[in-house]
Structure 1
């Protein structure tokens, strides 16, 4: 089951890239929320959200993600002036419900990846936050085309600073509670999103 789930993960992302390259972005991009739901499915059953503490942390990170995005969208004080588009799923007060899921998934998988290379709290927290910001950088290059979110004047440096600080706090909490999970699944979940964002960036710029 694990191998089949991972193969399907890469297939749907590769199919989307090929389809968009052929001009079928109006078909593939609105399906993005379903892809995120699939990522959540992999988190639950393969990464293993199988304890009370993991469930609580995931819920807390979801709420934090939605909260900071609400502040960001409605005040412009965290990430700049931006708003969410139509391809990130259902919204409440302008904030997609799935953005909280995305924050939680990214925190979990980047924390597990960081712990594969580092042991000290500072190193793990810094590396985990850097991985989140790194992926965000590539997503910012495709967000407007994809209909995910739209910046009024582009994503400035302050956007990444705020991302890093918030991510570091979430990783500090994760380290405190010794968050663990499936490293292989974490690599695939992170890698497929990074490669998709990079691939789409190349497609829309050539």
Structure 2
């Protein structure tokens, strides 16, 4: 349940949803305005940390499960990125730019945070649709995250998130995104987080709209 009879819980959800929508709209406007874009690029790390903070702020379930989820996805997602950068055998041959901030082993620490945000948001949205079978939910979530990556890739290169050593994004990247997302989503459902349907759905749909619009605007 969403804790709909708890006024404090409901207020936290409303604040979280409002913050997600407002900051994505402001960010979108900033990136679409050429003169402002360099300044908004500098704010990307703060935006990711804010979205992570929104998840923690609005969550009202057992904190030990949330911490297990966050630590598991953060470490796994970060290590996959490290292996991907150093070997070129997972996503393809790529390297990170400077936009995402501090790097460890050539990978921004915020990539771990990004995986947490992505997995949490899509997992919660799918649960809100009433899909309870974890394998089916994980498969659907992996498809949705791969679709998100389709819109994300050109934007990531344009904004110096990361760059490919080819002229186009390799098919291998999308296959790897699907597989990694599938595994992390299965882990997420195994932690049995409390349902946060409004926050999760808003977070995922805001990101999808954000990158879809920018993909065509920056093309």
Residue 187 of structure 1 corresponds to which residue in structure 2?
A: 201
CA contact (8 A) 1:70 1:95 kept: yes
Q: 148, 151, 163: which is aligned to 1:138?
A: 151
Aligned counterparts of 1:39 and 1:56: Cα–Cα separation in 2: 18
Q: Deviations over 1:150-184 (max 9, x none)?
A: 11113211111111111111122222332333110
Taking the aligned partners of 1:49 and 1:70, their CA distance within structure 2 comes to 31
Partner of 2:6: none
- Distance in structure 2 (CA, Å) of the matches to 1:48 and 1:199: 32
Q: Flag the structure with higher helix content.
A: 1
Q: Structure 1: any 5+ residue segments left out of the alignment?
A: none
CA distance in 2, matches of 1:48, 1:91: 32
Task: Give the Cα separation in 1 of the matches to 2:61 and 2:194.
Answer: 9
| 3-state SS of paired residue (2:218) | helix
Q: Equivalent residues in 2 for 1:67-106 (5 A)?
A: 67-106=79-118
1:149 corresponds to 2:162: yes
Cα RMSD after superposing both structures: 1.7
**Aligned residue pair count:** 205
* Paired position in structure 1 for 2:27: 16
CA distance in 1, matches of 2:58, 2:114: 17
Deviation at 1:105, TM superposition (A): 1.7
Distance 2:112 2:85 in 1: 14
How far apart are the structure 1 equivalents of 2:90 and 2:68?
Answer: 25
Q: Is the 8 A contact 2:127 2:195 kept in 1?
A: no
Give 3-state SS (helix, strand or coil) of 2:95's partner.
strand
Distance 1:204 1:66 in 2: 28
1:177 — aligned with what? 191
Point out the more displaced range, 55-64 or 21-30: 21-30
Q: Is 1:197 equivalent to 2:211 in the alignment?
A: yes
Structure 2: 5+ residue stretches without partners: 1-10
Offset, 1:22: 2.3
Distance 1:81 1:112, change over 3 A: same
Q: What is the Cα deviation at residue 72 of structure 1? A: 0.6
